[in-house]
Amino acid sequence: MRTLTILGATGSIGESAFDLVMRAGGPQAYRVVALTGGRNVARLAEMARALQAEVAVTAHAEELPALRLALAGSGIEAAAGPQALVEAAARPADWTLSAIVGAAGLAPGLAVLERGGTLALANKETLVAAGRLVMATAARTGARILPVDSEHSAVFQALGGEDAAAVARVTITASGGAFRDWPVERLARATVAEASRHPNWAMGQRITIDSASMFNKALEVIEAREFFGLAPERIGVLVHPESIVHALVEHVDGGVLAHLGAPDMRHAIGYALNWPDRRPLPVAPLDLAAQGSLTFRAPDEVRWPALRLAREAMAAGGAAGAVLNAAKEQALDDFLAGRIGFSDMAARVEGALDRAAGEPGFCDSPADLDSVLAWDAFARRTARIAA
Ligand code: NDP
Ligand code: MG
Residues 200 and 157 in one domain: yes
- The CATH number of the domain holding residue 375 is 1.10.1740.10
Average pLDDT, integer, range 35-41? 98
Give the other-Cβ count within 10 Å of 76's Cβ. 21
End-to-end CA distance of the chain: 53
Angle CA(367)–CA(100)–CA(378) in degrees, nearest 5?
45
pLDDT surpassing 80 at residue 14 = yes
Are residues 33 and 84 located together in one domain of the fold? yes
> How many folded domains does the chain comprise?
3
What integer pLDDT is reported at residue 28 of this predicted model?
98
pLDDT at residue 199 in the model:
87
Distance 149 CA to ligand 1 centre (A): 12
Range of the domain at 131: 2-147
Is the domain of 83 the same as that of 216?
no
Flag whether 307 is in a domain.
Answer: no
Q: What is the pLDDT of residue 385?
A: 82
Q: State the pLDDT at residue 386.
A: 61
At position 34, the amino acid (one-letter code) is: A
Q: How many CB atoms lie within 10 A of CB 28?
A: 8
pLDDT band at 58 (very low <50, low <70, confident <90, very high): very high
State which amino acid sits at residue 87. E
Of 252, 273, 301, the residue that ends a domain is 301
**Nearest ligand for residue 122 CA:** 1
Nearest CA to ligand 1 atom 23: 204
Locate the ligand 1 atom nearest the alpha carbon of residue 11 and give its number.
4
Nearest ligand to the CA atom of 200: 1
Predicted structure pTM score: 0.98
204 lines ligand 1 (CB under 6 A): yes
Nearest to 14 by CA among 36, 32, 41: 36
pLDDT, tens digit (0-9, with 9 covering 90-100), for 273-303 = 999 999 999 999 999 999 999 999 999 989 9
Q: Are residues 45 and 123 in the same domain?
A: yes
Are residues 195 and 175 part of one domain? yes
Within this chain, do residues 43 and 112 fall inside the same structural domain, yes or no? yes
Ligand closest to Cα of 175 equals 2
Rounded Cα distance, 168 and 287, in Å: 30
Instruction: Check pLDDT > 70 for residue 387.
Output: no
- Look at residues 131, 147, 163 and tell me which one is the last residue of a structural domain: 147
In a domain, 187, yes or no: yes
Please state the atom number of ligand 1 nearest to the C-alpha of residue 85.
Answer: 20
pLDDT grade for 178, boundaries at 50, 70 and 90 = very high
107 plus 27 within the same structural domain: yes
Whether residue 296 is found in the same domain as residue 166: yes
pLDDT of residue 201: 85
Put the strands of the sheet holding 144-147 in their side by side order.
Answer: 77-80, 55-58, 30-37, 2-7, 95-98, 118-121, 144-147
Distance 130 CA to ligand 2 centre (A): 18
Ligand 1 near 201 CB (within 6 A): yes
Is there a domain that residue 280 lies in? no
- Distance of alpha carbon 127 from alpha carbon 153, whole angstroms: 14
Query: With a 6 A CB cut-off, is 331 part of the ligand 1 pocket?
Result: no
Nearest CA to ligand 1 atom 39: 203
218 lines ligand 1 (CB under 6 A): no
Residue 39: CB within 6 Å of ligand 1? Answer: yes
Residue 41 lies in a domain: yes
8 pLDDT more than 70: yes
Q: Estimate the share of the chain in helix, then strand, then coil, as percent rounded to the nearest 5.
A: 50, 15, 35
Asked, for residue 312, whether it belongs to a domain, the answer is no
For residues 99 and 105, give the distance between their C-alpha atoms in angstroms, rounded to a whole number. 8
Nearest CA to ligand 1 atom 22: 38
Residue 167 and residue 90 in one domain? no
Quote the mean pLDDT of the chain: 97
Ligand nearest to the CA of 152: 2
Whether residue 136 is found in the same domain as residue 182: no
Mark which of 147, 167, 194 sits at the end of a domain. Answer: 147
Span from the CA of 124 to the centroid of ligand 2 (angstroms): 9
- Asked if residue 200 and residue 165 are part of one domain, the reply reads yes
- In this predicted model, what pLDDT tens digit does every residue of 209-238 receive, in sequence order? 999 999 999 999 999 999 999 999 999 999
Residue 274 covered by a domain: no
Identify whether residues 138 and 165 lie together within a single domain. Answer: no
Please check whether residue 156 lies inside any domain of the structure: yes
Task: Report in angstroms the alpha-carbon separations of 125 from 1, 2, 51, 274, 278.
Answer: 31, 27, 27, 24, 27
What's the CATH number where 138 sits?
A: 3.40.50.720
